[in-house]
Structure formats: C-alpha cells, structure tokens
Amino acid sequence: MLYQTKIRMIEIFKNMQAVRHKFVVSQKVYEAFQQCSGDYNPLHTKVEFAKEKGFKECVMYGNILNAFVSMLIGECLPTKDVMINSQDITYRQPVFLNDELDAELTVEKIYESVNVVDFKFRFNNVNGKTVARGHIQISVI
C-alpha cells in the first residue's frame, strides 16, 4: 500500500503546472534572516560600504532567496510529502530592500524509480530581469 501511494504521488508531478509566487524582501524578512544567520557583513548592513563597492544601497542576503525556495517547496507543491535533497542557486543581479520578486518553479525531470523530482527555479525582479536561478531536487516521502 505504501508503495502504491508513492507511485500515485510521483504521478501528480508529471502534469504539474509551473508554481508562481510573488515575494517581497521586506524589512521584516531582512531582519529575520539577519538574526537567523548571524551574518552582519557590511555589504548587507552598511550603506557606505555597499556604495564603496559600487551598489546603490545595501545588498540583500542572497540566501533569503533560498528561504523563499524553501517556501515554494514546502507550501506550494501539490503534496506536502516532500523533502529537499539538494539545491543550487546562481545570483545574476543584486536584490535590494523592498524589491518585489516573481518566483517560478517548474519540473525539470522525474525519477520514478526513486520518487525524486528535479525542479528549476528563477526569480525575476519588477523589471523582468532574472536576479537568480537554480535547481532543487526533492524526494517524495
């Protein structure tokens, strides 16, 4: 019975439409991540430092986007019976405070033999530019 349930679960990813979700890197998100990570690097906390390095203001933590990916996997898939196996991300543009990001998550490959799904994801800013993209692999548990 367990085996049949897993087979059916993996089936739901075959015709799954892309998951789309809007995120905002708000002050609350920024502070929560800062406290969680303990990362107070001046690029993220000192405007003067960020400007010296060529940015208009403090650059947001790239790994905030990984937290958003966690939400996409944990909350937006057609089943909650999932676990993240691996994840990679490439940053292409800096993200700043209060930026709105459109996330898109699509199925890339399904490994039915081991109930594994590969996804690719990207985050676009309001100008339509991709700020980050990557891949994430999950197991259906």
Partner 1 sequence: MEKERILAEVQDIFRDVLDNDDLEINFNTVADDVDEWDSLSHIQLVVGIEKHFGLHFTSQQITKWKDVGAMCDDIATSI
Query: Residue numbers of the site for partner 1 (CB under 8 A)?
Result: 3, 6-7, 85, 111-116, 137, 139
Q: Toward partner 1, which CB reaches closer, 45 or 85? A: 85
Q: Toward partner 1, which CB reaches closer, 113 or 127? A: 113
User: Minimum distance from CB of 111 to partner 1 (Å)?
Assistant: 5
Amino acid type, 118: D
Edge-first strand order for the sheet with 82-91 is: 19-24, 100-111, 116-124, 130-140, 82-91
User: Minimum distance from CB of 84 to partner 1 (Å)?
Assistant: 12
User: Which tokens belong to 19?
Assistant: 């998951």
Q: Are 140 and 81 in contact (CB under 8 A)?
A: yes
User: Minimum distance from CB of 141 to partner 1 (Å)?
Assistant: 11
